Amino acid sequence: MILLKIAFRNIFRHKRRSVLTGLMMAGGCALFAVFIGMVDGTYGNLIDMFTKDRTGHIQIHKNGYLDRPSIYRTMDDPDEIGSKIESVAHVQSWTPRVYTPALVFTGKKTSGVKVTGIDPRREAMTTRLGHKVGEGRFLSDGPSHEVVISAGLAGILKAGTGAKIAIIAQGADGSVANDLFTVVGITDMSGSLPGSSACYVHINMLQEFLFLGDRVHEIAIVLDDQKRTMDTVGLLRDALNDPLLDVEPWQVVESQFYRAMQADIKGNWYTILVFTVIIAVGVLNTILMVLLERTREFGVLKALGTRPFQIFMLIVLETVCLAIVSIIIGTVIGICANWLLYTYGITYPAPIEYGGYVFDRLTARITLRSAVMPAAIIFGTALLVSIFPAIRAARIIPVKAMRSV
């Protein structure tokens, strides 16, 4: 306890040096907190867009559908599967989908397209697709010859709302399916891959169009918390208990994006490492300067009977006390900065497109990670760099120390 009091008082013996060192550690802690908060905010928003705009947190398919999509790899009785899904904890909603490649044309314009059959009511409860309609309206709840097309497809076909487009595809029975649909809405570019061609029709219309009966290709599921995705996947597999069905998280469904995200996160650690080295060098330099200035003092302490371990602990405690005060200040500043970024954000001079999603603002998130990790890094760094100078001070020979100038 006495050593702790002495260590705390020694911090104020050289106020200017202590303040500069403390500012370095506090600034580093705040920068770490803001950096991690921005990383969490950026990827959190991107994951939220991927899952709630398109994929859902979990998807269910027939075995092998994700690897080799086929019109014939379908699931029977989606309503029965849905009732089992709803019994699983943390499931917020689910929606069935049907897919087929097709050829669409209007007038002299023709394009290949991916047609998606959706349940408008369930889709609205599960994803934000309905909010992506920038022109016209979303599909009616009941089956009808209506279609919502992407902005990219509308540009290719030169078709607006009210236009008639013909869709030609191969039916599940081997026949050529074709029908005429009316464009009732056009989705905006957000959430669509550049130049992508997609159109959405009522799931019952597409099932009838493809002679699928009530079979579907996919069931997308949204949870109340995306952090519970992996746990819920296991619960769903147990509830369905069907070896012919694949239950996969968004990390598998969007594997390319997930791998890119993980690679970028690993790259962020190099940035953190550079910050840590800079702070460590600054703190070590300060402690060594203190050691050189107090050589005589440590010599006198040892001559009076102070044990080497006590001198060692005195140096370490001084550094730790300064680090704790700096961490508290830096953490408060970091949390406040993250709150401002979360509330107001920073508007980009020009929108940035990534994976078909458009970002116009940089935001952050206040998470436990953004508060605890910087504090742990700064504290660990300060503690580590104090060990060598403390050992050196503990090994000082009193006679030589008191002769030093």
Nearest C-alpha neighbor of 168 from the set 100, 221, 107: 100
Q: What ranges in 241-294 are assigned the alpha helix state H?
A: 250-253, 255-293
Nearest C-alpha neighbor of 201 from the set 167, 159, 163: 167
pLDDT band at 355 (very low <50, low <70, confident <90, very high): low
Whether 178 contacts 166, CB under 8 Å: yes
Task: Count Cβ atoms within 10 A of the Cβ of residue 385 and give its class: 0-12 exposed, 13-18 middle, 19 or more buried.
Answer: buried
Token pair 């508007």 in the structure block, residue: 347
The neighbour count for residue 51, using CB atoms within 10 Å, is: 23
The neighbour count for residue 86, using CB atoms within 10 Å, is: 13
> 319 by DSSP, 3-state: which?
helix
pTM confidence score:
0.76
DSSP 91-119: EEEEEEEEEEEEEEEETTEEEEEEEEEE-
Q: What's the pLDDT at 284?
A: 78
Mean pLDDT lowest among 12-21, 203-212, 307-316, 340-349: 12-21
6-25: average pLDDT: 77
State pLDDT tens for residues 248-279. Answer: 998 888 888 788 777 877 777 787 788 788 87
Q: What's the pLDDT at 88?
A: 92
Give pairs for 342-348: CB < 8 Å, separation 24+: 342/37, 342/41, 342/366
Whether 236 contacts 247, CB under 8 Å: yes
Q: What's the pLDDT at 404?
A: 61
Give 109's strand partners: 106
State pLDDT tens for residues 186-220. Answer: 987 554 444 467 899 999 999 999 999 999 999 99
Q: What's the pLDDT at 337?
A: 92
Whole-angstrom distance, CA of residue 144 vs CA of residue 368: 49
Q: What's the pLDDT at 93?
A: 93
> 337 by DSSP, 3-state: which?
helix
Q: What's the pLDDT at 193?
A: 46
The size of the chain, in residues, is: 405
pLDDT at 95 over 70: yes
Q: What's the pLDDT at 195?
A: 44
> 402 by DSSP, 3-state: which?
helix
And the tokens for 137?
A: 């309206």
pLDDT at 61 over 90: yes
Whole-angstrom distance, CA of residue 41 vs CA of residue 47: 10
pLDDT at 401 over 70: no
Largest CA distance in the chain: 102
Q: Which amino acid, 182? A: T
Nearest C-alpha neighbor of 140 from the set 195, 228, 203: 203
Sign for the CA dihedral angle at 71, 76, 80, 85 comes to negative
